[in-house]
């Protein structure tokens, strides 16, 4: 009998001990146990922040972030048969064999991506299958509405929203948002069963408004692409600058690429050739030589230079014109693009004076535009320059520049000698402007530019209906591994419009046209004409060829009367 009572006493003691422990835990250690439970079931998860929007000067979106879903798995929790693998693969739009291999080869891991940046409906289809260990979370994917038209400026970001090219790379830190955090309650399977609220709000990246006017960008891209195709050229660039502010209104290149689909991307197409590719600017530099001559006050536009017999011998080399032009005024030297006349000016001015003029216009130095991969070009050393090198420099050989630098130089020539800083970002206010050339010299240069496109000049095909324009043609041999390519050229045209009150500076570069035409006046000048014609209308610039305008109005009136 005593054994019964002993056993009963032991059982009562055990029960009392357990009850005492339960009371102790419930009263004295409740907060500790609650915390330990939360640690095992409550998690902090990140809230992705989308990148800032990139837009043109009028708010047209060029790069936006769209909400998408990333589907991932915990392989230790996934238990699927062949039929279930097939269902999941179909929902994700992936290969069944790849999916099975990916999950089974990572059985010892608790996280593996199945599909990054998927459309929300794909994630919904996958999750609705109800398979354990399959999850999704919100992310953002970059989309570029303008596609290849603005790709060389905007660039692109990678799958992790990090800038890789263009503005996306140059302003990556500014565009990148800051992740937030939210607290969630998960079950033993790792599934979220309750969102407990936001701990830290995600902060979106900062927006950027570019200086680009997409109306001009589309126009320039269309004309350049058509010309490169027609002339079977290797590449080409067009740059349009606002003369007063220095803002880049358009910058296009061929070949281009689609940033929304880079699966078959040719890496060479990534280059923003207008900023990275160097070339000898050829006869477009004759206006800079003229500027140096006029600034020296030793010459005026009506000063004359003897170019007979049509060639000049220097250091065992011959500098030639297309023919013997005889005695030419400086205005005619530019209009007829005389190498001999320009060389004689340079030889009289000396290397230092000429170098100073080139450098003052931004050649041989960075533009300060802040774009990745920009080339600064090269100017020859003025203190170690032979006469033949000085002569070559005067008509654009022996130095290198980019299309953007060339556009900057012509912007200054057409802006009364003022040199605003270049910018791909929209300027919200006026800033101090440096004067690098007397206004009187700039006005004389505009006359020389006009003469180039008028009858007798080399750039007549650059003329624009209803608007007076001016500029300079250029044709240079391309440079290969073994020196100049005798049968391959670059066709150039640089100019401003309208010539009486310049608003824009435009440069056209066509690399290696393969057709019968290859001169700058034949290939590049017509592109300049079409781009400027459209730009003047888009920018609502009043026509200044009033006689032509009156003729058009008369024709329209007569046609209207005929209908009556």
pLDDT at 548: 56
- Using DSSP's 3-state secondary structure scheme, residue 102 falls into helix
- The structure tokens listed for 444 are 């004389």
What is the rounded CA–CA span in Å between residue 524 and residue 283?
A: 13
What CATH number did the domain enclosing 142 receive? Answer: 3.90.1310.10
pLDDT at 127: 86
Instruction: Answer whether 84's CB lies under 8 Å from 42's CB.
Output: no
Percent over 70 (pLDDT), the chain: 87
Which residues on adjacent β-strands are paired with residue 209?
55
Helices 286-295 & 351-360, crossing angle to 10 degrees?
110
Q: Say yes or no: 450 and 500 in one domain.
A: yes
Q: Say yes or no: 171 and 148 in one domain.
A: yes
- The structure tokens listed for 210 are 């570019």
- Decide if 434 is inside a domain: yes
pLDDT at 316: 81
Q: Decide which of 181 and 38 is more confident.
A: 181
Which residues, 6+ apart, have CB-to-CB distance to 184 below 8 Å? 42, 43, 44, 45, 192, 194, 195, 196
Does the structure show a pLDDT above 50 at 557?
A: no
- Decide if 334 is inside a domain: yes
Q: 414: which DSSP letter?
A: T
- Decide if 383 is inside a domain: yes
pLDDT at 82: 85
SS3 assignment for 349-374: HCHHHHHHHHHHCCCCCCCCCCCCCC
Of 21-30, 147-156, 202-211, 538-547, the poorest mean pLDDT is in 21-30
Q: Hey, which of 39-43, 317-321, 524-528 has the most confident mean pLDDT?
A: 524-528
What is the rounded CA–CA span in Å between residue 82 and residue 100?
A: 9
Mean pLDDT within 100-104: 87
- The structure tokens listed for 520 are 């700058």
Instruction: Answer whether 146's CB lies under 8 Å from 154's CB.
Output: yes
DSSP-derived secondary structure for 188-226: TTS-EEEEEEEEE--BPPPPEEBS--HHHHHHHHHHHHH
pLDDT at 558: 44
Number of domains within the chain: 2
Q: Decide which of 528 and 262 is more confident.
A: 528
pLDDT at 205: 85
Catalytic, 283? Answer: yes
- The structure tokens listed for 222 are 């269309």
- Decide if 34 is inside a domain: no
Mean pLDDT within 407-436: 95
Mean pLDDT within 304-328: 91
Does the structure show a pLDDT above 80 at 38?
A: no
Of 120-129, 174-183, 222-231, 283-292, the poorest mean pLDDT is in 174-183
Preceding omega of 255 cis (within 30 degrees of 0)? yes
- Decide if 19 is inside a domain: no
What is the rounded CA–CA span in Å between residue 189 and residue 494?
A: 68
pLDDT at 561: 40
Mean pLDDT within 35-56: 71
Q: Say yes or no: 234 and 309 in one domain.
A: yes
- Decide if 169 is inside a domain: yes
Instruction: Answer whether 70's CB lies under 8 Å from 137's CB.
Output: yes
Mean pLDDT within 259-270: 90
Which class for 381: exposed (0-12), middle (13-18), buried (19 or more C-beta within 10 A)? Answer: exposed
Q: Say yes or no: 191 and 219 in one domain.
A: no
Instruction: Answer whether 240's CB lies under 8 Å from 204's CB.
Output: no
Nearest to 489 by CA among 452, 517, 462, 525: 517
pLDDT at 7: 72
Q: Count CA atoms within 13 Å of residue 111 on its CB side.
A: 4
pLDDT at 559: 41
Q: Say yes or no: 240 and 175 in one domain.
A: no
Helix (H) or strand (E) holding 345: helix 339-349
Nearest to 546 by CA among 505, 495, 503, 498: 498
Q: Over the Cα atoms of the chain, what is R_g? A: 35
Is the dihedral angle over the CA atoms 188, 192, 196, 198 positive or is it negative?
A: positive
Q: Say yes or no: 175 and 295 in one domain.
A: no
Does the structure show a pLDDT above 80 at 188?
A: no
Q: Which residues of 517-533 are buried (b: 16+ CB within 10 A; e: fewer)?
A: ebbbbbbbbbbbbbbbb
Containing structural domain, residue 295: 214-548
Which tens digit of pLDDT belongs to each residue from 235-256?
999 999 999 999 999 999 999 9
Instruction: Answer whether 9's CB lies under 8 Å from 17's CB.
Output: no
Q: Say yes or no: 519 and 419 in one domain.
A: yes
pLDDT at 482: 80
| End-to-end CA separation in angstroms for the chain | 132
Domain end position, chosen among 163, 188, 209: 209
Which tens digit of pLDDT belongs to each residue from 359-380?
999 999 999 999 999 999 999 9
- Decide if 11 is inside a domain: no
- Decide if 105 is inside a domain: yes
State the catalytic residue, choosing from 211, 256, 283, 292: 283
Mean pLDDT within 175-198: 66
- The structure tokens listed for 477 are 């041999």
What CATH number did the domain enclosing 386 receive? Answer: 3.40.710.10
Largest CA distance in the chain: 143
Mean pLDDT within 59-83: 89
Domain end position, chosen among 209, 236, 253: 209
Does the structure show a pLDDT above 90 at 485?
A: no
What is the rounded CA–CA span in Å between residue 473 and residue 69?
A: 53
pLDDT at 108: 84
Distances (CA, A) of 136 to 76, 122, 187, 301, 533: 16, 10, 16, 73, 52
Which tens digit of pLDDT belongs to each residue from 426-474?
999 888 999 999 999 999 999 999 999 999 899 999 999 999 999 999 9
Q: Say yes or no: 349 and 481 in one domain.
A: yes
Does the structure show a pLDDT above 80 at 17?
A: no
Domain end position, chosen among 165, 182, 209: 209
Q: Say yes or no: 126 and 265 in one domain.
A: no
Q: Say yes or no: 190 and 65 in one domain.
A: yes
pLDDT-derived band at 199 (thresholds 50, 70, 90) equals low
Mean pLDDT within 390-395: 94
| Total number of residues shown for the chain | 564
pLDDT at 562: 36
Does the structure show a pLDDT above 80 at 225?
A: yes
Q: Say yes or no: 506 and 525 in one domain.
A: yes
Q: Say yes or no: 410 and 455 in one domain.
A: yes
Which residues on adjacent β-strands are paired with residue 44?
183
């Amino acid at each position: 009998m005593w054994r019964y009572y002993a056993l009963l006493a032991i059982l009562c003691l055990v029960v009392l001990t357990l009850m005492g422990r339960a009371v102790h835990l419930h009263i004295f250690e409740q907060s500790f146990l609650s915390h330990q439970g939360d640690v095992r079931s409550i998690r902090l998860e990140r809230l992705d922040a989308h990148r800032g929007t990139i837009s043109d000067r009028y708010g047209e979106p060029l790069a936006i972030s769209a909400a998408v879903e990333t589907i991932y798995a915990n392989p230790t929790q996934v238990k699927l048969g062949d039929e279930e693998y097939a269902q999941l693969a179909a929902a994700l739009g992936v290969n069944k064999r790849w999916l099975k291999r990916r999950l089974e080869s990572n059985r010892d891991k608790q996280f593996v991506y199945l599909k990054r940046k998927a459309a929300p409906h794909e994630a919904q289809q996958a999750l609705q299958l109800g398979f354990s260990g399959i999850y999704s979370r919100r992310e953002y994917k970059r989309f570029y509405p303008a596609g290849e038209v603005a790709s060389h400026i905007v660039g692109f970001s990678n799958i992790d929203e990090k800038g890789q090219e263009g503005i996306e790379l140059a302003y990556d830190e500014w565009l990148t948002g800051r992740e937030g955090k939210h607290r969630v309650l998960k079950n033993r399977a790792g599934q979220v069963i309750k969102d407990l609220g936001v701990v830290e709000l995600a902060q979106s990246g900062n927006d950027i408004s570019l200086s680009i006017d997409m109306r001009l960008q589309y126009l320039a891209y269309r004309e350049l692409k058509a010309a490169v195709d027609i002339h079977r050229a290797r590449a080409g660039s067009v740059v349009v600058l606002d003369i007063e502010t220095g803002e880049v209104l358009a910058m296009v290149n061929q070949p281009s690429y689609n940033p929304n689909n880079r699966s078959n991307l040719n890496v060479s197409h990534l280059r923003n050739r207008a900023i990275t590719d160097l070339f000898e600017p050829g006869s477009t530099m004759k206006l800079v030589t003229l500027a140096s001559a006029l600034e020296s006050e030793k010459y005026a536009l009506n000063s004359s230079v003897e170019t007979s017999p049509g060639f000049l011998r220097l250091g065992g080399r011959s500098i030639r014109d297309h023919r013997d032009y005889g005695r030419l005024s400086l205005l005619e030297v530019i209009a007829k693009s005389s190498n001999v006349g320009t060389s004689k000016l340079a030889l009289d001015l000396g290397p230092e004076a000429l170098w100073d003029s080139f450098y003052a216009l931004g050649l041989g130095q960075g533009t300060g535009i802040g774009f990745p991969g920009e080339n600064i070009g090269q100017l020859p050393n003025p203190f170690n320059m032979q006469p033949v090198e000085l002569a070559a420099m005067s008509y654009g050989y022996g130095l290198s520049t980019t299309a953007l630098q060339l556009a900057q130089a012509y912007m200054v020539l057409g802006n009364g000698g003022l040199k605003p800083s270049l910018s791909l970002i929209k300027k919200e206010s006026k800033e101090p402007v440096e004067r690098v050339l007397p206004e009187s010299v700039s006005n004389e240069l505009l006359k020389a530019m006009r003469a180039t496109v008028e009858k007798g000049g080399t750039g007549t095909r650059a003329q624009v209906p209803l608007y007076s324009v001016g500029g300079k043609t250029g044709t240079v041999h391309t440079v290969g591994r073994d020196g100049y390519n005798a049968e391959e050229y670059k066709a150039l045209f640089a100019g401003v419009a309208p010539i009486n009150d310049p608003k824009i500076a435009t440069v056209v570069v066509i690399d290696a046209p393969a057709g019968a035409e290859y001169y700058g006046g034949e290939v590049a000048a017509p592109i300049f004409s079409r781009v400027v014609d459209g730009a003047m209308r888009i920018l609502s610039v009043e026509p200044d060829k009033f006689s032509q305008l009156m003729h058009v109005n008369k024709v329209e009136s007569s046609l209207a009367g005929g209908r009556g």
